[in-house]
Amino acid sequence: MATIKITKNNFDQEVLKSKEPVLLDFWATWCGPCRMVSPAVEEISEEVKGIAKVGKINVDEESELASQFRVMSIPTLMVVKDGKVAATSVGLRPKKDILKMLEV
């Protein structure tokens, strides 16, 4: 598994200070669409090794981060580049659309 578990403790280092763009997957164990998009997110994390990072944020465990990014529905996917949100997508998306988000 190449995805990184993002918590409030490692958020600054793994996301804000990252030299590569970071795809964040806001999810929860009880969320059906989250489970459906998860395999695509895992595949992407392998495909973009070295050019981007992929992190998963469990909204139940990290409610502060979900709040900070105003996540109202999950799955929410965000790309953070140079410490700023560059792209956001809410809901189930095909893998090709998620990969396009990283091209920002």
Q: Looking at 3, 7, 28, 31, which residue is catalytic? A: 31
Q: Which of 96, 15, 18, 17 is nearest to 26 (CA)?
A: 15
Helix (H, G, I), strand (E, B) or coil at 94: coil
Q: Looking at 6, 22, 34, 41, which residue is catalytic? A: 34
Helix (H, G, I), strand (E, B) or coil at 57: strand
Known catalytic residue at 52: no
Known catalytic residue at 21: no
DSSP state of 36: H
Whether omega before 21 lies within 30 degrees of 0, making that bond cis, reads no
DSSP state of 18: -
Active-site residue list:
31, 34
